[in-house]
Amino acid sequence: MIEHFPDLLRAVTTDIMLILLLWTMAMPKYKNKLVYFLATAVILLGNLSANYYFYLSENYTAVFYVDLAMLAVIGIVLKPLFSDRIMQWCFSYITMLNIYAAIVFLSYAFRNIFSNPYYGTVYIRFILFTAVILIFRIWVSKLYRNVLDYWHIYIMPIAVLFACFLGYFFGGDIKTMLTDNFIQLILLTLLGLSVYITIIHSLWTITKQYAMREENQTIQAEREYLQLAAEGMVERIKLMQEVAEQDSRTSHDRRHFNRVLLELLEQGQADEAADLLRNQSQNSPQISKIYCENHAVNAAVSYYAGIAEQSGIPMEINLDIPNNLTLSALELSMVVSNLLENAIHECRKQSENKDIYIRFICRNAGRLLLEMENPCSGNISFDENGYPVAAGDGHGIGSKSVAAFAKKYDGELLYKVENGVFQVRLLV
């Protein structure tokens, strides 16, 4: 038993490192690690028992075949324990076989650099396996997880590489094969290294392309949200422009009315002037309230203030928004419309015994700070970015367009619910 201790140590080191390598490359399906430890223990026990049997007769060629059989069992039995797609699993499995073959050769070829070659093989295998695992975990793992396609293409060169390794390991005594084919195996190992470097570079390129594609899709989606909301806002702006034009005509008519009224008073016709005032008061249309200097935003606020008034929702509005802005007034009015529309919708959902209101304030200190609050039901959920999640299909476009607006102008957007009050803060 003692005389075969280096052999058993080498077998244990190799088996454990191979399984650790597979765990590093593949994605476990279950959180309970006990399942993986039990599966590993069963495989190790069976493999070590078979290895020890052949160590007694010093048949190292048979030991290599037993290890290959163990790896075949690992590839089939352990697959249900991992969530990798079949092609990615096959790539990981064949990669493990290639690494195993290369390290077996290198540990045997350079074992004599240590004073005790028997333990030198163990040291080299431990060092090389550890280096491969760390390299994969630090530099390759993220790329490996992100790529879901093209694995069937990557499998082809590494499968051929493994077939080439097997050609030098089969056909006779393994020690003789490793010694007689030293140069060929060194070149094959270097070729395999170049193949995997090329694959890793390809994974990096594909990951970068994925990231650019996702960014472009996000930008396109934000544009679509803004465009969709803007189309609805244009109609509202047209309506409010008509009201503004009516106000302008009314102001023009009032100037003429004032001249006529002044003329009657100067002529001493007080009764006629009083009748004219009474008729004018009854027939004059109501002039829209001016909430801010910016015409587009004022039109949007006037529109929704009218809707809120019809719904019996009190509003507190205090806006300092100039007419000349560094950002798009139409887009800002669209954002204001979305926020007010959401606030009105939420107020309408409240129970009758709950006070409802909308408070909308905007301060201007070089940048605009918009604050809006209204009561809410309290069951509002937020996504990972802190934005409200749509309650159903067809909803949520307004919130997304507000987020897209904030991102476009490098603004800060904050949603929060506190004591039954929904609050929005937008700094642009």
Q: How confident is the model at residue 245 (pLDDT cuts 50, 70, 90)?
A: low
pLDDT score, position 394? 45
The reported pLDDT for the residue numbered 316 is 94
CB atoms within 10 A of CB 3: 8
CATH number assigned to the domain with residue range 227-427, chosen from the 4 options 3.30.1360.120, 3.30.230.10, 3.40.50.300, 3.30.565.10: 3.30.565.10
Q: Nearest 5°: phi and psi at 306?
A: -65, -40
Q: Is the predicted pLDDT of residue 98 greater than 90, yes or no? A: yes
Distances from the Cα of 121 to the Cα of 1, 10, 16, 114, 166, angstroms: 19, 7, 15, 9, 20
| Closest among 7, 107, 123, 111 to 55, alpha carbons compared | 7
For residue 109, count other CB atoms closer than 10 A to its CB. Answer: 17
pLDDT of residue 228: 59
Q: Virtual CA dihedral for 290, 294, 297, 298, nearest 10 degrees?
A: 10
* CB hemisphere CA count around 147 (13 angstroms): 27
130 or 82, higher pLDDT: 130
Q: pLDDT category, 248, cuts 50, 70, 90? A: low
Cα gap 269→261, rounded to integer Å: 9
- Sign of dihedral through CA atoms 39, 45, 51, 53? negative
Q: Tell me the pLDDT tens digit for each residue of 367-406.
A: 999 999 999 876 778 887 788 876 654 445 567 778 888 8
Q: Summarize the chain as % helix, strand, coil (round to 5).
A: 70, 10, 20
What are the residue ranges spanned by the domains of the chain?
5-180, 227-427
Strand intervals (E) in 346-408: 358-364, 368-375
pTM of the model: 0.56
